Amino acid sequence: MRHISDEDLFAALGSDSRAWRWRAPVPAGLPSDGADALHGAEVDFLDKGHGRSRLYGFHYLRWMTPLVAAYAETGDPRHAAEWERLFRQWYAGRDLVEGDWPGLDVVWYSLGVCARTMYVTQALAVLGEAVGEECWKEMMKTVLGGARWAAEEHDEFRHGNWQFATVCELLHAARVFADLPEAAQWAEIATARIMEHLERDVRADGGHHERSPGYHGMCLDALRRAAAVEPGLATHPRYLAMHDWLAALMTSGGWVPHLQDSGIVWPSGIEPAKGSTNLEASGYAVFRSGTFHTVINYGPYVGHELEPHSHHAALDFVIAGWGVPLAWEGGGPPSYDDPGYYDWYQATRAHNTLLVPGEEYTEDRRAACDLFSSGHETGDGVDVFAGHHHGYSARHDRTVVFVRDEGYWVVTDRIEAEAIWQVHGLSPWVRHGAGYRTERAPGLLVVPLEEPDEVLFGNGPARIPDPATRTAEYGEIHSLGLRGRGGFTVGIFPFLDEPPTIPDGWTVHADRR
């Protein structure tokens, strides 16, 4: 563990340390909701009952920030006193915390240091003289020790959101605490790493290396904080491209789908892009026309220094229309401790693609786009994606055609194996004519060209975005599975109120390449 004495602190800050204040701005406070509930709360900072992964997040101390926001809003010293009580309790026991991830310290690891530096810096700025001398020292030691640790830990480039976010916060701390003797060294190290991440960890289309909108957003938020104190970053082409990437994936409802291990992302200050696009470097094809929005995943499985955030699916798609999900997927879990993390959220069965019974999905799936054509550019009224992958022992080929003017999709799959064609809606499926429809509207009518050998139904949890409140609480999604062999041709017809009449000749799009 990293201990900093009062002498070290005063040597770093100067003799008039208590009056010393940084000159750069700090971000606005987090919401104050929940501050009163923390008053008098008894907290066991060593309790492993938080969960194997959640224990780490608990020590970010974000849950304490409503006290800071409440003090900023009201000036009530009770909120500052409660922060002081809880923070000093955490500080006294931080060396005793033990986690269950081998070799990964709960307190001294990248995201923990990053988050606490951000939240404690904010608390120092807002609370100021409202906390006692000893608490102030311990908060300063937390920031100083975290910055020293981060500078030593990240002396060379590593892919992934851990380092990217941490070095952005290190640069922010170096500029905010510019009077510290080590600040220039921190800034040099952080800037070098940030530039490497912009060149090597942000793909050419602006997407973060891990292909997860949630972790992309986390890195972009950290980069924005760094750019606030280092304005030159804000003009870097990859910084600008990271915003464009979110705009390409953003629906008319204002949200970005929870692809890979992601939550729903609600970008601020970004408008949805216009037209269809192929994010080739990230492996996402996007169809867009009116309110309809389709994302097809054909990207790689990406590793991580702890656990990968990639899901076991390729050529899977999500569809939104009228600002709500129509064809949806499991997305990211509420916690990585969730018992369904591996067999639902990451599993093939939670995605809109083919499931091959009895086969394990191969991580090295070698997914690829064979064709992308936008009707917006060609003028023929259809968007076309064709691709393949090798996640199973038999190659899976899929073509997705979006008939823009009439607003429906035709999905054609070929595989030399028995497979289950899957799609997930927001309500249960019922028979409707030659196909199956969701019970509730807005929804989908799904019509297979050939009668399947078997029809399967299921359900599982997923976040459901609500544009009115810009929230995404967990609800249920419902799966429709069509079992067959050799291939499938399926029409997908959206409806706002009642299922539509199936257009004559929709099958002419079945083999379009």
pLDDT tens digits for range 167-220: 999 999 999 999 899 999 999 999 999 999 999 999 999 999 999 999 999 999
How does the average pLDDT of the chain come out, rounded? Answer: 92
Please check whether residues 316 and 442 belong to one and the same domain. Answer: yes
**Residue 256 covered by a domain:** no
Please check whether residues 320 and 416 belong to one and the same domain. Answer: yes
- In 3-state terms, what secondary structure has residue 82? helix
Region at 300 (left for phi over 0; alpha for psi -120 to 50; beta for the rest): beta
- Per-residue pLDDT, averaged over 130-148, amounts to 96
Please check whether residues 210 and 351 belong to one and the same domain. Answer: no
Last residue of a domain, one of 220, 249, 278: 249
Please check whether residues 407 and 436 belong to one and the same domain. Answer: yes
Residues 6+ apart with CB under 8 A from 482: 420, 421, 448, 452, 454, 455, 456, 488, 490
- What's the CATH code of the domain at 439? 2.70.98.70
pLDDT of residue 21: 46
pLDDT of residue 19: 44
**Residue 260 covered by a domain:** no
**Residue 123 covered by a domain:** yes
Please check whether residues 105 and 218 belong to one and the same domain. Answer: no
Please check whether residues 91 and 128 belong to one and the same domain. Answer: yes
- 420 neighbors 448 (Cβ within 8 angstroms): no
Last residue of a domain, one of 153, 185, 209: 153
Domain hosting 459: range is: 269-509
Distance CA(389)–CA(405), nearest Å, equals 30
**Residue 344 covered by a domain:** yes
pLDDT of residue 18: 45
- 420 neighbors 348 (Cβ within 8 angstroms): no
- 201 neighbors 209 (Cβ within 8 angstroms): yes
Last residue of a domain, one of 194, 219, 249: 249
Please check whether residues 280 and 145 belong to one and the same domain. Answer: no
Please check whether residues 344 and 400 belong to one and the same domain. Answer: yes
Please check whether residues 65 and 116 belong to one and the same domain. Answer: yes
Residue 20, pLDDT above cutoff 60: no
pLDDT of residue 508: 76
216 burial level (CB within 10 Å; 0-12, 13-18, 19+):
buried
- Per-residue pLDDT, averaged over 10-18, amounts to 56
**Residue 128 covered by a domain:** yes
pLDDT of residue 304: 76
Please check whether residues 378 and 474 belong to one and the same domain. Answer: yes
Please check whether residues 500 and 420 belong to one and the same domain. Answer: yes
Supply the DSSP symbol for 343: I
- 367 neighbors 315 (Cβ within 8 angstroms): yes
- In 3-state terms, what secondary structure has residue 495? strand
Alpha carbon 238 to chain centroid, angstroms: 18
Number of domains in the chain: 3
Alpha-carbon torsion, ordered 120, 473, 55, 170, to 10 deg: -30
Please check whether residues 353 and 410 belong to one and the same domain. Answer: yes
Distance CA(180)–CA(178), nearest Å, equals 6
Distance CA(118)–CA(27), nearest Å, equals 9
- Per-residue pLDDT, averaged over 152-173, amounts to 96
**Residue 257 covered by a domain:** no
